[in-house]
């Protein structure tokens, strides 16, 4: 995954609360291979029959402002794939589903928490604005203002470096083995009993 620290793009508002991951990608598309591109599935049912849907009016948008509790619900990482494959680099909201936010960071998508989101969405209604995101300072400049967004420092570092957890963790393999062996020795009950009624 490529890291990034600055993004200049176009911001658009989707002023709805509780946009859950079932809406971000309906379940029926989830057997598709990632190679097919998941962007085509993004918010499919919500967009259908709505010619004014913000992402259809402004397909160049790469920054999405949305209502509270964005990405709640199912842990499906496919919801993030759909956003990323549709060219979205950052979602701004007052809050995110915990699992969604972790999935986003694991795919280079910034989940930026910003208390001012509702006011910004009101100001943006029906139009776009250019916006700049600086990960180093956790700031977003849009609509003539520069605002500080919330992002856990560990996630900021990860996004900037494009780090992959498996690579990082493999540096701790000895610690993990030691932990495992101790757990197996001292808490033997925590392993599944060996007998298996099917054997």
Partner 1 sequence: MSLTLLDKLWAAHEVRRNEDGQSLLWVDRHLVHEGSHHAFGKLAARGLPVAQPDLTFGVADHYAPTGNRNRITDPAIAKMLERLDTHAKQHGITLFGLDDPRQGIVHVIGPEQGLTLPGLQINCGDSHTSTHGAFGALAFGIGATEVAHVLATQTVWQTKPRAMRITIDGRLDPMISAKDIALHWIALLGTDGARGHAIEYAGEAVRALSMEGRMTLCNLSIEGGARLGMIAPDEVTYAYIKGRPFAPEGASWDAALMEWALLHSDEAAIFDREVSIDAAEIAPTLTWGTTPEQALPITGTLPDPADLPEGKARAASEALDYMGLHAGQALDGVPVDQVFLGSCTNARIEDLRIAAAVLRGRTARVPGIVSPGSMLIRAQAEREGLDRVFIDAGLDWVASGCSMCVGMNGDLVGAGKRCASSTNRNFRGRQGKGARTHLMSPAMVAAAAVTGTLTDPRPLMKGRL
- DSSP for residue 168: H
User: CA-to-CA distance for 105 and 90, rounded, in angstroms?
Assistant: 10
User: CA-to-CA distance for 155 and 100, rounded, in angstroms?
Assistant: 13
Report how many residues bind partner 1 under the rule CB under 8 A.
Answer: 59
Instruction: Supply the minimum distance, in Å, between the C-beta of residue 196 and partner 1.
Output: 7
Q: Which is nearer to partner 1, 3 or 130 (CB)?
A: 3
Q: Does 95 bind partner 1 (CB under 8 A)?
A: yes
Chain residues 116-175 in contact with partner 1, contact rule CB under 8 A: 118, 152-154, 157, 165-166, 169-170, 172-173, 175
Torsion of CA 39, 72, 68, 123, to 10 degrees: 0
Nearest to 94 by CA among 18, 12, 34: 18
Q: Which is nearer to partner 1, 25 or 131 (CB)?
A: 25
Using CB under 8 A, pick the residue from 57, 68, 143, 160 that binds partner 1. Answer: 68
Nearest to 7 by CA among 64, 55, 63: 63
User: CA-to-CA distance for 24 and 100, rounded, in angstroms?
Assistant: 11
- Could you identify the residue written with the tokens 């197996």? 184
Q: Does 111 bind partner 1 (CB under 8 A)?
A: no
Q: Does 40 bind partner 1 (CB under 8 A)?
A: no
Instruction: Provide CB contacts within 8 A for 190, sequence distance 6+.
Output: 183
Q: Which 3 state secondary structure label does DSSP give 192?
A: coil
Instruction: Supply the minimum distance, in Å, between the C-beta of residue 4 and partner 1.
Output: 17
User: CA-to-CA distance for 69 and 72, rounded, in angstroms?
Assistant: 6
Q: Does 52 bind partner 1 (CB under 8 A)?
A: no
Q: Does 2 bind partner 1 (CB under 8 A)?
A: no
Instruction: Supply the minimum distance, in Å, between the C-beta of residue 116 and partner 1.
Output: 14
- What is the contact surface with partner 1 in residues (CB under 8 A)? 16-18, 20, 22-23, 26-28, 30-31, 34, 45-46, 68-69, 72-78, 80, 95, 97-99, 102-103, 106-107, 118, 152-154, 157, 165-166, 169-170, 172-173, 175-176, 179-180, 183, 187-193, 195-198
């Amino acid at each position: 995954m490529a890291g990034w620290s600055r993004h200049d793009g176009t911001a658009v508002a989707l002023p709805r609360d509780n946009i859950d991951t079932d809406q971000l990608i309906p379940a029926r598309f989830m057997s598709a291979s990632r190679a097919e591109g998941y962007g085509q599935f993004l918010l499919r049912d919500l967009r259908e029959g709505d010619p004014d849907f913000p992402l259809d009016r402004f397909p160049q948008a790469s920054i999405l402002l949305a209502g509270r509790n964005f990405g709640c619900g199912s842990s499906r990482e496919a919801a993030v794939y759909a956003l990323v494959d549709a060219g979205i680099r950052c979602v701004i909201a007052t809050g995110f589903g915990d699992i969604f936010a972790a999935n986003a960071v694991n795919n280079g998508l910034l989940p930026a928490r910003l208390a001012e989101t509702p006011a910004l969405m009101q100001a943006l209604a029906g139009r776009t604005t250019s916006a700049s995101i600086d990960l180093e300072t956790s700031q977003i400049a849009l609509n003539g203002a520069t605002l500080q967004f919330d992002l856990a420092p560990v996630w900021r570092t990860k996004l900037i470096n494009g780090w992959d957890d498996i690579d990082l963790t493999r540096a701790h393999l000895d610690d993990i083995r030691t932990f495992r062996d101790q757990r197996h020795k001292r808490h033997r009950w925590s392993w599944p009993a060996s007998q298996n009624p099917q054997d």
